[in-house]
Amino acid sequence: MALLNQIEELAQEAARAADTKITAPFTFSVAGLDHPHIYSMVQGLLDAGAQLIHIYDRNLDQANALHQKFQTGEVVSELSQILHSEVDLIASSIVPSERGALGIRVLEHEKHFLSAKAPFTTMTQLHAAEEAVRRTGKKWAVFYSERLAVEAALLADNIVQEGLIGELFQLTGSGPHRLQAETRPDWFFDPLKNGGILCDIGSHQIEQLLHYARSKEAEVLHSKVANYAHPQYGDWQDFGDATLVTNTGVSQYFRVDWFTPDGLRVWGDGRTVLYGTNGFVELRKYTDVARSAEGNHLYVVTDQEEVYFSANGKIGIPYFRQLITDCQQGTESAMTQEHTFKAAALAIQAQEQAISLTKVGEKR
């Protein structure tokens, strides 16, 4: 069968799997809206069939803005109103350094917790979360959106697992972001609150390594950070990279930065390349520079041929329906708890052991 036909069949299978909704009622609330990722999290839960009950943020304007966007859910003035309610799950994008403590409170009130990335900024927070999960039996989920909400990334996984590029042996990843400094709150520029660039946006890249390689263990071999062009923000970092290897021998190099130029039509030209022994898959997730303003592009090359495939609008996003089902049935189809925490742990390790390429605000 021609490669393009195989990819089209895999896309159709993935779409059928994604095109389902929950069959039993599921309720959720949101608490802590400091990062806009909460909007895609709420949208995903609603699309899966969940019901939004309460909205809380210490900044009332932020709570009202989310309510205005979705026209559902009651804005409440106290976090306790959510913690003592009967909802099934609480979702949050509170300041990263506060996500661990909030999640523990949520679990202790017998609710599941869904966090934006990065879920933790220190290993102490992560270990406390692991203990809370063991104690309560509730789920601590993290929305690693650069894989879970990208159709090209979902289809690429099927291509790899089907063996179309042979045996996977390496990933490379690029995760540039646009800074838009004037829109960022003060905590964004405080490494103690945001965790640093590798802990933050680097966590997306590390989660992809573990998933595509189907590995439970990996080691951070090298990592580096820098503040090349923003001395006004002190020890904040605008660049980072890292090299990892799994216990099965799959290696990864990734780089992340806050240097997306204003001329690009999207916030970042995120790319991933999956290398196999008989071919490779390149993902151009959010744009194809100077060619297409759409995302979800796949370029696939094997020993037989090379093809292009657009996954845009053809797969769907099954994560939120899978997560809800896992919460209801005690399964782990969306993401295992072990995987969730391992990705976070490796991101923190990469951040903690990173070599600084610059003094604060000074180039080498």
Cα-based distances in Å from 134 to 119, 123, 344: 17, 17, 17
> Using CA atoms, how far apart are residues 21 and 228, in angstroms rounded to an integer?
46
The pLDDT value given to residue 213: 98
> Using CA atoms, how far apart are residues 75 and 96, in angstroms rounded to an integer?
22
The CATH class of the 147-318+349-356 domain is alpha beta
Per CATH, the architecture of 22-144 is what? Answer: 3-Layer(aba) Sandwich (3.40)
Could you write out the three-class secondary structure of 52-91?
Answer: EEEEECCCHHHHHHHHHHHCCCEECCCHHHHHCCCCCEEE
Cα-based distances in Å from 23 to 20, 89, 146, 344: 9, 17, 27, 31
pLDDT exceeds cutoff 70 at 364: no
Mean pLDDT for the stretch of residues 336-364: 88
The pLDDT value given to residue 23: 87
pLDDT exceeds cutoff 90 at 19: no
> Using CA atoms, how far apart are residues 123 and 121, in angstroms rounded to an integer?
7
| Res. 360 pLDDT band, cuts 50 70 90 | low
> Using CA atoms, how far apart are residues 78 and 140, in angstroms rounded to an integer?
22
> Using CA atoms, how far apart are residues 300 and 306, in angstroms rounded to an integer?
6
Residue pLDDT, tens place only, 71-130: 999 999 999 999 999 999 999 999 999 999 999 999 999 999 999 999 999 999 999 999
> Using CA atoms, how far apart are residues 324 and 139, in angstroms rounded to an integer?
10
The pLDDT value given to residue 340: 98
Domains 22-144 and 147-318+349-356 are alike in CATH topology: no
> Using CA atoms, how far apart are residues 95 and 118, in angstroms rounded to an integer?
9
Half-sphere exposure at residue 285, Cβ-oriented, CA atoms within 13 angstroms: 23
Q: Please check whether residue 103 is in contact with residue 140, taking contact to mean a CB–CB distance below 8 angstroms.
A: yes
Cα-based distances in Å from 64 to 71, 86, 212: 10, 22, 39
Half-sphere exposure at residue 349, Cβ-oriented, CA atoms within 13 angstroms: 14
Q: What percent of the chain has pLDDT over 90?
A: 96
DSSP H helices in the chain: 3-18, 37-47, 60-70, 79-83, 96-108, 123-136, 145-148, 151-161, 191-194, 202-213, 319-329, 337-352
| Res. 362 pLDDT band, cuts 50 70 90 | low
> Using CA atoms, how far apart are residues 177 and 271, in angstroms rounded to an integer?
12
Question: Exposed (0-12), middle (13-18) or buried (19+): which is 292, by Cβ within 10 Å?
Answer: middle
Q: Which of 38, 102, 46, 99 is nearest to 66 (CA)?
A: 38
Q: How far apart are the first and last CA of the chain?
A: 53
pLDDT exceeds cutoff 80 at 363: no
pTM: 0.96
DSSP H helices in 173-317: 191-194, 202-213
Half-sphere exposure at residue 65, Cβ-oriented, CA atoms within 13 angstroms: 13
Boundaries of every domain in the chain: 22-144, 147-318+349-356
- DSSP code at position 34: -
| Res. 319 pLDDT band, cuts 50 70 90 | very high
Tokens matching residue 60 = 């009332």
